[in-house]
Structure 1
């Protein structure tokens, strides 16, 4: 389970393509498709390089002018789902 101290990065077995502001992804290992809205797309882009979840949340707070506690809860929820599906992985 990801926390604000976890460092995450995209898994390398996902292909993705932007459609307008949204993102469609396929996990080539499982064959499952996923879709993200514009903010999820932004988060995916920010996970191209390893990033500490807490730092990601602070960057999103600045980008979207939303309360950090709300962003943190939403981002952790999304990232834990993504980790469960194998779309992101923790970096040691």
Structure 2
């Protein structure tokens, strides 16, 4: 299990309300109403965003992505936690132990 400052793989993650998300040429783009910033989530980031619409355990999120993409568990966890950290710093997601 990989951890970082804000997350353990057993934590639950979900979107915070107040974001407008749209598809643009196959990638998810988002405007945060709360902070007035625009984000390009990309393809996989958009998939993660969709999966965290409702609270989901980070380990379940990683397992879902591993079943879709050809990636090993450690690499997937590292990338997911890094992406979630960015979303967390921008106040776009909420976490619950």
- Normalised by the shorter chain, which TM-score bucket? over 0.9
TM-score, normalised to structure 2, is 0.89
* 2:15 counterpart residue number: 10
**Deviations for 1:16-44, whole angstroms, at most 9, x for unmatched residues?**
11112211111101101111111111111
Structure 1 runs of 4+ off > 2 angstroms?
A: none
Q: Does 1:89 align with 2:91?
A: no
Are 2:29 and 2:42, in contact at CA under 8 Å, matched by a contact in 1?
Answer: no
TM-score, normalised to structure 1, is 0.94
SS at match of 1:5: coil
Are 1:6 and 1:52, in contact at CA under 8 Å, matched by a contact in 2?
Answer: yes
Work out the CA distance in 1 between the residues paired with 2:60 and 2:69: 14
Gaps of 5+ in 1: none
Aligned match of 1:60 in 52, 62, 65? Answer: 65
Figure out how many residues of one structure are paired with residues of the other and give that number.
92
